[in-house]
Structure 1
Amino acid sequence: MGFEYALVHLKYTIPPAVLLTLLYRPLFTKLDAYKIAVVATIPWDSYLIRNRIWSYPTHVIVGPKLFEIPLEEVFFFVVQTYNTSLLYLILSKPTFQPVYLQAGRGASRREWRYSRFVGQVLLLAFILGLPWTNTVLPIILPTLYLWGVDTLALRRGTWVISTGTKYGVHLWDGLEIEEALFFLITNMLIVFGQLAFDNALAVLYTFPKLFANPPLLPSPAILIRALLTPCSEYDDARLTGLKEAVHRLQRKSRSFYLASSTFPGLLRTDLLLLYSFCRVADDLVDNASTAREARDWIAKLHDFLDNVYSNTKSRPSVLEHIRSHFPADAQSALLQLPVAKLSPEPLRDLLHGFEMDLAFNTAPVIETEEDLRLYSERVAGTVAQMCIQLIFHLYPSNLTTEEQRKIVAAGNRMGVALQYINIARDVCVDAQIGRVYLPSKWLAEVGLTYNAVIDHPQEGRIESLRIRLLENAFSLYEKARGAIEQLPPEASGPIRVAVESYMEIGRTLRQGGFSLKAGRATVPKWRRVMVAWRTLNE
């Protein structure tokens, strides 16, 4: 009996497991635990040991065995699977897998019938399309590490490959080629298993027409059905909407894009589609060449909401209206808006906020602090309300209707706080387009006028008003943040990340000395990541 193999675990496999666990613990879900399988390699290892292909000297192991496998070896396969899987989960978390699905455009059922014999035909295309951080890196990093550990173990005789069962070829001195291939292939199996699982989840959660109300913890049978679903049955319009939504998010809101990666799959999809609609609607109005054109777009958006929430309008007529009244690059955002999960009032209020923006063309809009609050409720508080509606739709809770109403109201206040941060950040940018969101009464108190801010947005007296606005923002934030903890646990952590990522901009503004990018204060990516990780660990 000996402890040398056990010491290998204490020195080389358990420490990275602890480190990876600490890194991923705030994001770990029941679904993640479901994905990490640990028994697939046990029959394989038992066969190799029984046939003396490799062995473990009695003086290096404690003694107990399972199917002829020393317990240290059983634990090795458990910890290898765990470590490689966790590394994959960490590296793939930012990736929104549904946008890498490939639809079988124009393919007939006959052309796709063979996919059921080999898994999904385009699984390989899905894998190849993913970023290398999702595929190559989680295979190579643990393989290189285990090659180093294996080299030390073989040199010390912790385990031995029988002479008659090996070619005698070494990857380098001390590492048999068979061992090197073994670790490479097992890590590939682990990662490819995770990729197949994620491919199935992407199909399951992306196409409600194929899988209505999918369970949050799907059974193996449902996952296999999703994985084997012919690509010809994919909803191409749905995929287009998701891809365009992700592209808009990456270009227009880096903070929210980072935060969105912490949301569970189904909720992340709905939030991306909601953001896509809000962004497109805002751009249609802001990018209009004349005030009249902007008013026309707002009217068309009101008509769109009337149609989608009407009990008399058919789906084909709604589609026809969208295609005939909106530009091609905006249609997917309207078509994929999850209206069945949202009430119409926040969406209409959002359009009223656009109308307030449009009024800047004739006169200052924000005269008082109450005007500022109303505007912020319409353009930002409504978005927070809709996010919470989506959460309660996906994760039913035991809260009463009144308790849920209070949480939605707190969400509205938090949205106002975030909009105040946005206004404080963008004083110079807004001035360039002829807008000042600081209340005119505030300006008068420090001897400034609306036009003075337009002409000199970096005037020293403006800084005191920026700080005043930030103080209001943080006051609202402190009053509303407790409501986040009453949300379902699957959503409360990610919502905290979304809020704190934006509030970090406010903290940067209060500290002063911030850097500008395109006229806006920015927070470095590393700092946003640290804020997200710290927030999830609270």
Structure 2
Amino acid sequence: MGYDYALVHLTYTLPPAALLTLLYAPLCTKLDLYKIAFLIAIAVTSTIPWDSYLIRNNIWSYPPSVVLGPKIFDIPIEEVFFFVVQTFNTTLLYLLLSKPALHSTYLLREKKGTREGQKWKYIKLMGQLAFALTFKKGIDYVRAEGKHTYLGLIFVWAAPFLWVLWSLAYQFLVRLPFTSTLVPIVIPTLYLWVVDTLALKRGTWVIEAGTKTGIALWPGLEIEEAVFFLLTNCLIVFGLVAFDNAIAVLTTFPSHFPRIPALPSPALLVRALLVPASTYDDDRILALQQSVQRLKAKSRSFYLASSTFQGRLRIDLTILYSFCRVADDLIDNAKDAAEAKQWVAKLKTFVDLSYAGDVTKPDGSVVRGDDKNQGQATIFAVQNFPDDAMLTLLLLPTQKLDREPLNELLRGFEMDLAFTPSNASGPIKTEADLDTYGARVAGTVALLCIQLVLFHYPGTSEAKAKRLMAAGHDMGIALQYTNIARDLAVDAQESKRCYVPPAWLKKEKLTPESFITGLKSGTPDEFFRKKLTSVRGRLLERAFALYEMSRGAIEELPREARAPMRVAVESYMQIARELRRPGFRVVGKAGRASVPGWKRIWVGWRALLGPVKR
């Protein structure tokens, strides 16, 4: 009896497990726990027979003086735990690195008879051939019964699993970022090579001389051991990628899988992986890709927050953001006011057609129109909008959203059109006008987000739902005040707009026109900077007042959405905190307050842990 092997775990495997658990715990979901348990169960059950065979046939051994004594099928309990902890560590690293990716966007339709389709056919076949040849070489080595026996047994054991996983998930294994595939293989492999080197030198485990090549990757590390740890980490990551590939198919294509359980069965996961790539809806995939790019380019705060939402809710929220961005860009980028008004009219028509045929019952519930009405909206979108905008419109989940907030959003865009060179303050004459504007362009969006949350996680009473949507509406206004405070210079330089109520400016002895002139100067004098700080401070004061009134409602949301919604709100409100900080950082010619990347991550991580105390 000895403690050497146990000390290997205490010194080298458990500390990384504890650190990774600490880092990932706030992000962990029930699906993640299911994934971890699933992978560990497969790793243990598939490795025990193979490892037991190696020990019984004296391929490798463990001196009695280095292990505690208890065994499972002749395998020391410490070795069985190694299967568990290696899988756990590699899985957590993979989950941590792959969290930002919306996996739906890495699906690809393989059109038969096209060059692209043929390319993917050959990619699949080449991988299958490589693993089949590895398996064949392993059989040859084992049959030879010589110095390549151990290496052959590794190939014979690992290659079939890798062949199956590659056949099921080759698209994802090729298309996912290296941070989701290569990095979670390389880092644990290098680390375990070092651990193995130390263990072999100490004699914690021993490879018999007659079954190994005698080749070392470096002094103390047998080539067989290097290959073993490389392939085991490949197996873990391949399994995780296949799992996520299946989840992506389930969540992306409601036409194939109208309803999916929170924890899909292994049979359902395999069924999803067996859906032919030629049947994927490529328009839906492209629309999601475009939507993610817009989110990533236009809002780093919401892009960070989006990664904490799950499944179809994350997809719907991403599409909703993309719709708002598309509508805003169509209007803002119009060549003149007349064209901008045309885009507003077209968007109104699209919304009207999307909800045409709806019937409101006496109890206030709404019965949605039939597919014919949706078809009319689709035809209108195809005929009247650019391709990238059209695809987003087609995916907008109108069946899950009320009509009126979308109409209010368009009225907010109409308010923007009231700004003219001769009317710098546009429709904003009072603080109430600014509240109305914020309610229309941002409060409505927050309300729609709450509706999506309640749709995907039902069970909230009607009275509570109304209270949550009202609070979300007010929170949206708070975020819009933050946005206005951040973009004072941007709005002045690019749009010649002043969203600050004239009465506020009058207290600083300014007019909307003089305020815009001062912002456009690029290097305002100290006197004007003080006035600017005062105006911005008032905007932020209003933002924080609305934020404090509304943020408690986040804790009443369904459990699955609380922490992600906290991240969304706190990530954006951090901009307001940066604006309040003396000497806040400015980026670009227009002068935006920027939250450093490390701070955005820290704010998001802290928000995941629980309500932020002020």
State the TM-score, normalized to the length of structure 2.
Answer: 0.85
- Which of these residues, 37, 52, 56, is aligned with residue 58 of structure 2? 52
Question: Match for 2:378: what amino acid?
Answer: L
Amino acid at match of 2:608: L
Give yes or no for contact 1:122–1:231 (8 Å, CA) kept in 2.
Answer: no
Alignment-derived partner of residue 242 in structure 2: 196
- Correspondence 1:46-125 to 2 at 5 A: 46-106=52-112, 123-125=169-171
Superposed displacement of residue 120, structure 1: 7.9
Distance 1:501 1:481 in 2: 13
2:470 matches 1:420: no
> 1:345 aligned to 2:415?
no
Q: 1:505: Cα distance to partner?
A: 0.6
String of CA shifts for 1:260-314, please: whole Å, max 9, x gaps.
Answer: 1111122111111111111000111111111111111111101000111112644
- Aligned counterpart in structure 1 of residue 607 of structure 2, from 530, 535, 538: 535
- Any idea what the Cα deviations from partners look like across 1:468-507, whole Å, max 9, x if unmatched? 1101111111111111011112111111111111111100
Deviation of the 1:168 alpha carbon? 0.8
8 Å contact kept, 2:485–2:539? yes
CA distances 1:359-394 after superposition (whole Å, capped 9, x unpaired) = 112632211111111100110011111111111111
Q: Which residue of 1 aligns with 2:388?
A: 329
- Equivalent of 1:208 in 248, 254, 262: 254
2:244 counterpart SS class: helix
1:121 positional shift = 5.5
**Cα displacement (A) at 1:47:** 1.8
Match of 1:490 in 2: 560
CA contact (8 A) 1:119 1:228 kept: no
SS at match of 2:181: helix
Q: Deviations over 1:114-150 (max 9, x none)?
A: 9999678683232211111111100000000001111
Q: Which runs of 5+ in 2 are unaligned?
A: 129-162, 358-368
Cα distance in 2 between the residues matched to 1:162 and 1:48: 10
Q: State the one-letter code of the partner of 2:214.
A: G
SS across alignment from 2:510: coil
Pairwise mapping of residues 463-474 of structure 1 onto structure 2 (< 5 A)? Answer: 463-474=533-544
Tell me the distance in 1 between the aligned counterparts of 2:430 and 2:375: 45
Q: Distance in 1 between matches of 2:305 and 2:516?
A: 33
Question: CA–CA distance in 2 between the matches of 1:134 and 1:77?
Answer: 21
Corresponding residue of 1:430 = 491
Tell me the matched-pair count.
536
User: Distance in 1 between the 2:190 and 2:547 partners?
Assistant: 46
Determine the structure 2 residue equivalent to 1:295: 341
Q: Give 1:534's aligned amino acid.
A: R
Paired with 1:390 and 1:76, the residues of 2 have a C-alpha distance of 43
Partner of residue 138, structure 1: 184
Contact 1:61 1:72 in 2 (8 A): yes
Give the partner amino acid of 2:400: K
Change beyond 3 A, Cα 1:122–1:440: farther
Is 1:179 equivalent to 2:225 in the alignment?
A: yes
Structure 1 residue 339: deviation in Å? 1.0
Retained in 2: the 8 A contact 1:119–1:227?
A: no
Residue of structure 2 equivalent to 1:393: 455
The answer on whether the counterparts of 1:255 and 1:501 sit within 8 Å (CA) in structure 2 is yes
Q: Distance in 1 between matches of 2:113 and 2:432?
A: 57
CA distance in structure 2 between the partners assigned to 1:65 and 1:177 by the alignment? 27
CA contact (8 A) 2:61 2:207 kept: yes
Match of 1:103, SS? Answer: coil
| 1:442-478 CA distance string (max 9 Å, x none) | 1112211010111112532121011011011111111
Q: Secondary structure at the match of 1:436?
A: coil
Calculate the aligned-residue CA RMSD, in Å.
1.9
Q: Which among 168, 172, 179 is matched to residue 214 of structure 2?
A: 168
Output the CA distance in 2 between the equivalents of 1:522 and 1:253.
11
- Name the CA distance, whole Å, in 2 between partners of 1:504 and 1:179: 48
Which residue type is aligned with residue 596 of structure 2?
A: P
- Measured against aligned partners, the alpha-carbon deviations of 1:130-182 in whole angstroms (never above 9, x if no partner) come to 11111110000000000111101000000001111111111111111111111
Asked if 1 retains the 8 angstrom alpha-carbon contact of 2:478 and 2:546, the reply is: yes
Task: Identify unmatched segments of 5+ residues in structure 1.
Answer: none
| Aligned match of 1:523 | 595
CA distance in 2, matches of 1:308, 1:88: 40
Alignment partner, residue 2 of structure 1: 2
- Quote the Cα distance in structure 1 between the aligned partners of 2:316 and 2:175: 23
Is the 1:120–1:230 Cα contact (8 Å) retained in structure 2? Answer: no
CA contact 1:99–1:239 (8 Å) conserved in 2: yes
For the Cα contact (< 8 Å) 1:285–1:298, is it kept in 2? yes
| Letter of the structure 1 residue corresponding to residue 379 of structure 2 | E
What TM-score, normalized to structure 1? 0.96
- Decide which of 382, 391, 414 is 1:355's aligned counterpart: 414
Name 1:246's counterpart in structure 2. 292
Task: Find the residue that maps to 2:309 and give its secondary structure.
Answer: coil
